[in-house]
Structure 1
Amino acid sequence: MASLHEIVAFLDGELGIPGIPDYSGAVNGLQLENGGSVTKVAAAVDASLPVVEAAVAAGADLLVVHHGMFWQGTQPLTRAFYKKIKTAMDAGLAIYSAHLPLDVHPVLGNNALLAAELGLEVRGKFLEWKNLQIGLLCRARTSRDALKSRLEEAVGGPVHVCPGGPEDIRVIGLCTGGAGSQIAEAAAAGVDTFITGEGPHWSYPLAEELGVNLFYAGHYATETFGVKALADRLARDFALEQVFIDHPTGL
């Protein structure tokens, strides 16, 4: 058994929660507390009702997620939102969320872990947002088809490719999640290939016009890495059981 207060203090410090800007709905950090103790941690991408129910069924008393409960902003405690909060509180399930702080972490972050899975050499950062660089610049010597195969193996599913750039790849930009709309910034940074999770429809034709390969590997699929790593770290450092709640969206 571990102290929820000690776990939260560790996560806040390790992820730099107080000092990293984020979207207003992210509400990074502890979003729902429990009675103060933790024996089993569950990790998941989204704090959705099905995930909360699965975490409770698994016997977890701490759920660590990438996308928290407040993405839609202030909302009444009714219907599904009420059921989600009540289910968690009745079961003593605390919920902790880390969005951009988990994306950009140099060891536990989604970007760093996906780059490592792909065997990429990280050379720097790019894609500035509120003075925070949220993407990685990587060097590689590979082909477009070979990178696609490696990426599909890493995320465990299909990857959609806009073959707008060269077949022989040398400079890769990587930003997990929904960064496809930043294709122009990626091209301006000198990448010939940009890997992300998803993007708007117009990002594909724009990538073609800019001469950049654009890999859409799935928003969900590219953001499973960080929460899994956090659960592993908590299980090791605090002697906890752990479980990953896999609830893919297909997006």
Structure 2
Amino acid sequence: MANLREIEAFLNEQLRIAEIPDYSGAVNGLQLDGAGDVRKVIAAVDASLPVVEKAVAAGGDLLIVHHGMFWQGTQPLVGPFFRKIKCAMDAGMAIYSAHLPLDVHPEWGNNACLVRDLGIEPTGTFLGSKGVDIGIVGTVDTTREALARKLEAVVGGAVHVCPGGSEAVRRIGICSGGAGSEVGEAAKCGVDTFITGEGPHWSYPLAEELGINLFYGGHYATETFGVRALSEVLRSRFGVAAEFIDHPTGL
């Protein structure tokens, strides 16, 4: 058993919640208070109603997500939103969310985990947002085909490839989630291959014009790593049980 306040303070400090700017609807940090004692941590990508229901059924005292409850902004406590809040509150389950603070974490972040699992040697960061670089640049010696197969194995699903660059892959930029619209910025950084989750239609033809490879590994699939890592850190540090709830969107 662990104390919710101690876990919250640890996460706030380690993820630099107060320092890293984000979209206003992210509302990073503790979004819903809980009963106070944490025996089991549940990790998931989205704080959707089905996920909250699954987390309560699994006996979770704390749900940690990447996309929190307020992405649509201020809304009345009615319908599914009310049921979601009521479900968690009736169970005494707290909800904690970390969006960009988790993306950029050098050890537990989505991008750091992807770089490590893909065997890429990190050399720097890129894609600055309000003074904070979100993506990671690294080097590798492989082929486009081999990298696609490796990425499929890492994310556990299909990868959509725009073969706009060379077959030989040497310098890679990675930014999980929906960063496909940043393909132009990635090209300016000198990468020959850009890996992200998803992007708008125009990002594919633009990658071809710019002469770089563009890999879409899935928004959801590329953002399961950070919350998984956090749950394992909390398991080790605080002696709590931990479980990941997989609720893919297919996007």
Q: What's the TM-score bracket when you normalise by the shorter of the two chains?
A: over 0.9
Structure 1: how far apart are the matches of 2:181 and 2:48? 25
Partner of 2:64: 64
Counterpart of 1:6 in structure 2 is 6
Cα distance between partner residues in 2 of 1:43 and 1:128: 27
* Separation of aligned partners in 2, 1:244 and 1:42: 6
Q: What is the Cα deviation at residue 37 of structure 1?
A: 1.1
Q: Deviations over 1:24-48 (max 9, x none)?
A: 1000000001121111000000000
> Who is 2:192 aligned against?
192
**Match of residue 142 from structure 1:** 142
TM-score (norm: length of structure 1): 0.99
| Aligned-partner Cα distance in 1 for 2:2–2:139 | 41
Partner of 2:212: 212
- 4+ aligned runs moved over 4 Å, structure 1: none
| C-alpha distance in structure 2 between counterparts of 1:101 and 1:135, whole Å | 12
Gaps of at least 5 residues in structure 1 are none
SS at match of 1:17: coil
Provide Cα deviations, 1:110-154, integer angstroms capped at 9, x if missing partner: 000000000000000000111110000110110000000000000
In the alignment, the residues of structure 2 paired with residue 117 and residue 42 of structure 1 have an alpha-carbon distance, to the nearest angstrom, of 22
Is 2:81 the counterpart of 1:81? yes
2:251 is equivalent to residue 248 of structure 1 = no
**Structure 2 runs not aligned, ≥5 long:** none
Equivalence for 1:129: 129
- Whole-angstrom distance in 2 between the partners of 1:101 and 1:212: 28
**Alpha-carbon distance, 1:21 to partner:** 0.4
Give the AA of the match of 1:48.
S
The 2-side partners of 1:232 and 1:32 are apart by 21
Tell me the CA shift for residue 168 of structure 1: 0.3
Q: Residue 165 of structure 1 aligns with which residue?
A: 165
**Cα separation, 2, equivalents of 1:42 and 1:170:** 37
Deviations 1:160-216 (A, max 9, x none): 000000000111000000000000000000011000000000000000000010000
Does residue 19 of structure 2 align to residue 19 of structure 1?
yes
Q: 1: CA distance between counterparts of 2:191 and 2:151?
A: 17
Aligned length: 251
SS in 1 for 2:24: coil
What TM-score, normalized to structure 2? Answer: 0.99
